[in-house]
Amino acid sequence: MSRRSDIWAWQARRTGWAGALGLVLACAAAGFWWNGNRPLARHVDALQAEAAALRKPATGPKATDPRVELTNFYAMLPLPRETTAVLLRIDAYAAQHGLQLERADQREGQAAGSRITKLEFLLPVRGSYESVRGWLADLADNMPELALEDFRVKRPDIGRAEVEAQVRLALYLRRVE
């Protein structure tokens, strides 16, 4: 045992303070590597398990009868008497983005034999481009009965942030039979 300690003492004297510092830094680096890579390895394992689970085929519910899906789709559409409420919601979303709708030109269309009535609204809007886009995004996210049919933007003066937009929305209503 004393021979081994003599060898370590001789080695320490030979390397000096630079060797001792190197040994301390090597031990510190090994500790940092061990503590830093173990959590990362666990995270990699978790991600690989998640990826494997996502590769498995879905075992969700069986497809329902298309007639039931179609009936549910028609039930989701508003009735013609709810048109005013829908327009008020459109106006409320515009107000949330600092836009004011001054008027709405309306046109009605209906395909023969269809259970859906389509109302088209032409809405002139003024405001910042970001506000108009945010308003349209809110409509798309929250009002599935609406469809954006046309969107035209014009900036009358290059120095102003305000734009003039023409927005044509289609509102699909359930036809009362």
Q: Report CA-CA distances (Å) from 113 to 116, 117, 119, 145, 177.
A: 9, 11, 17, 20, 11
Q: What kind and span of H or E run contains 128?
A: strand 116-128
**Which residues sit opposite 105 in a β-bridge?**
122
Report, as an integer, the average pLDDT of 57-67. 69
Q: What kind and span of H or E run contains 148?
A: strand 146-154
Query: What is the residue type of 13?
Result: R
Reply yes or no on whether the pLDDT at 5 is more than 80.
no
User: Which tokens sit at 77?
Assistant: 């559409």
**Which residues sit opposite 170 in a β-bridge?**
120, 147
Task: Kindly indicate the confidence band of residue 88, based on its pLDDT and cuts at 50, 70 and 90.
Answer: very high
Mean residue pLDDT of the chain comes to 84
Reply yes or no on whether the pLDDT at 38 is more than 80.
no
Give which of 144, 83, 89 is closest to 117, Cα–Cα: 83
